[in-house]
């Protein structure tokens, strides 16, 4: 009798739904060349499970796109944050 081999491949994707009130703005990202959502460092840190200091390091290293608004708080472009 011949043996049958069955191979099962399971792919998973994680989705996080954040239901708290978050501070973000929709604005033009010069680096992306399109309108995107931008978040302050504290919110960005929560989204990627890091400390806010790590976000400032990413800004200093030019690894994320960011923009300053009136209060001098940098707002980070979400698409660039997600590409890390």
pLDDT for 67 equals 94
Nearest-5° angle of CA 31, CA 35, CA 39? Answer: 80
How many Cβ atoms are within 10 Å of 78's Cβ, its own excluded?
20
What pLDDT, in 10s, does the model give residues 15-31? Answer: 666 555 667 889 999 99
Q: Parse the chain into domains and list their residue ranges.
A: 25-82
How many Cβ atoms are within 10 Å of 44's Cβ, its own excluded?
28
pLDDT for 36 equals 93
Q: Which of 6-10, 43-47, 63-67 has the highest mean pLDDT?
A: 63-67
Tally: H helices and E strands in the chain? 3, 4
Whole-structure pTM value: 0.71
- Dist. CA 84–CA 72, nearest whole Å: 24
Who contacts 31 (Cβ-Cβ below 8 Å, separation ≥6)?
65, 77, 80
What pLDDT, in 10s, does the model give residues 56-82? Answer: 999 999 999 999 987 788 999 999 999
Higher pLDDT: 39 or 21? It is: 39
């Amino acid at each position: 009798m011949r043996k049958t081999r069955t191979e099962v491949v399971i792919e998973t994707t994680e989705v996080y739904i954040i239901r708290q009130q978050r501070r973000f703005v929709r604005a033009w990202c010069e680096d992306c060349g399109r309108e995107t959502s931008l978040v302050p460092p504290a919110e960005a840190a929560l989204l990627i499970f890091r400390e806010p200091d790590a976000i400032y390091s990413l800004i200093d290293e030019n690894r994320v796109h960011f923009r300053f608004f009136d209060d001098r708080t940098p707002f980070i472009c979400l698409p660039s944050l997600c590409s890390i």
